[in-house]
Amino acid sequence: MDRTRAIDHVTLTVSNLDRTKSFYEQLFQTKLEKHKENSFNLLPVGIPVWFVQWEKQYPRDMFDERRIGLDHIAFHLDTLEELEKFVNRLQEMGVKTVGLERFAGKYPYVAFRDPDNIQTEFFIPEEFMITRDQAQEILHSHVKNQNLRRHCLAVGAVMKVLAQKLGGDPDEWEVLGLIHDSDWEETKDQPDQHTKVTLQRLQDLGYTGSLIHALQSHNTKLTHLADLEGPMEWALETCDELTGFIVACTLVSPTKKIADLAVESVIKKFPKKEFARAVDRNQIAQCEEKLGIKLEEFVQIALSAMQSIASEIGL
Ligand SMILES: [Fe+2]
Ligand SMILES: [Fe+2]
């Protein structure tokens, strides 16, 4: 079979090149160069996208996807933050859009139209997101210790609920929880390598996305890879420590069953310095300032998330 490897470039016809050029200059916040007076190159890398204006045009022509030919064009993005930035910019520019949507209920995108009515999107595709199954596979192939696996499961479950509360992507936040300590066994003798090994692993697999930044901020005191900023990062920072504290509370409770543990008994143990000494209370209490969730509610959220997977975490 004779075949080609990929599309080399796409060229779109517009009615007024200057108008389209300034539209994209505003949208991408960049200066674009014209070529041969009648065209410009918007994206020189990836699949290059060119715009061209013909001297002879159909009178009052407008793009219509119902005609034969192009339906729409989609620009690839890696992270929700980038996508949100473009949603805001489109709104500032007065471009009509319904805002962030999800294709098949999952893959985030924003759709809009350029000055010639050409349907255009920014899109985050499926293959750049890690699924829960893939995350679990990474965890199980690199972590043999059952308690550590359970810790990651617990953090994943809490992260998922926190995402629902804080407007994050529940699947992505859960995945972050599942993999955040997946290189711990390999790096336990070199603590400054913790997370770096997982990050390299994800990069080798071609994963990108906001999850990468969030993971860079885990163990940042030793790796200095990224500052702790944003709700996803702070959710991990605070609930990582809290899940450990809840496990400790369960193990000293009368029935040793997490289903029987009450929020009040967790809160009561919080100020007791001699109890679960290794757990950093300040790190947990930052939920109030960084996530806007009161400590008691934070404990409630984490406890019920962990109770919902009690058998999986052996409690
Ligand atoms: Fe960790
Ligand atoms: Fe952890």
Q: What does the pLDDT read at residue 32?
A: 94
Asked whether the beta carbons of 190 and 182 are under 8 A apart, the reply is no
259: tokens are 């289903």
Residue 215 CA to ligand 1 center (angstroms) comes to: 10
**Ligand nearest to the CA of residue 177, numbered in listed order:** 2
Residue 81 CA to ligand 1 center (angstroms) comes to: 24
Q: What does the pLDDT read at residue 79?
A: 77
Cβ-based burial of 74 (10 A; exposed 0-12, middle 13-18, buried ≥19): middle
Residue 244 CA to ligand 2 center (angstroms) comes to: 8
Residue type, 200: Q
User: What is each CA distance from 25 to 17, 29, 40, in whole angstroms?
Assistant: 12, 5, 11
Residue 285 CA to ligand 1 center (angstroms) comes to: 18
Q: Where are the alpha helices (DSSP H) in 167-291?
A: 170-179, 184-187, 196-204, 210-216, 220-223, 231-251, 263-269, 281-286
Written as tens digits, the pLDDT of the chain (315 aa) is 788 878 899 999 999 999 999 999 999 999 999 988 899 999 877 789 999 999 999 999 999 999 999 999 999 987 777 898 999 999 999 999 998 888 876 788 999 999 999 999 999 876 566 889 989 999 999 999 999 999 999 999 999 999 999 999 899 999 999 999 999 999 999 999 999 999 998 877 767 667 888 999 999 999 999 999 999 999 999 999 999 999 999 999 999 999 999 999 999 999 999 999 999 999 999 999 999 999 999 999 999 999 999 999 999
Residue 107 CA to ligand 2 center (angstroms) comes to: 28
Backbone dihedral angles phi then psi of residue 70, each to the nearest 5 degrees: -70, 140
Residue 276 CA to ligand 1 center (angstroms) comes to: 17
Domains and CATH numbers, the chain: 10-128 (3.10.180.10), 132-307 (1.10.3210)
101: tokens are 């949507």
Residue 241 CA to ligand 1 center (angstroms) comes to: 9
Distance spanning both ends of the chain, measured CA to CA: 58
Cα–Cα dist 10/74, whole Å: 12
Residue 194 CA to ligand 1 center (angstroms) comes to: 7
Asked whether the beta carbons of 187 and 200 are under 8 A apart, the reply is no
Cα–Cα dist 49/303, whole Å: 50
Q: What does the pLDDT read at residue 183?
A: 97
Q: What does the pLDDT read at residue 39?
A: 93
Q: Where are the alpha helices (DSSP H) in 100-145?
A: 132-142
Residue 116 CA to ligand 1 center (angstroms) comes to: 50
Q: What does the pLDDT read at residue 31?
A: 94
Whose CA is closest to 258, among 198, 307, 308?
307
**Ligand nearest to the CA of residue 152, numbered in listed order:** 2
124: tokens are 């985050």
Residue 180 CA to ligand 2 center (angstroms) comes to: 6
Residue 260 CA to ligand 1 center (angstroms) comes to: 28
Asked whether the beta carbons of 301 and 263 are under 8 A apart, the reply is no
Q: What does the pLDDT read at residue 206?
A: 63
Residue 278 CA to ligand 2 center (angstroms) comes to: 13
Backbone dihedral angles phi then psi of residue 223, each to the nearest 5 degrees: -90, -25
Asked whether the beta carbons of 79 and 208 are under 8 A apart, the reply is yes
Whose CA is closest to 52, among 42, 64, 61?
42
**Ligand nearest to the CA of residue 247, numbered in listed order:** 2
Residue 151 CA to ligand 2 center (angstroms) comes to: 7
Whose CA is closest to 126, among 46, 45, 207, 47?
207
Q: What does the pLDDT read at residue 205?
A: 72
Residue 249 CA to ligand 1 center (angstroms) comes to: 20
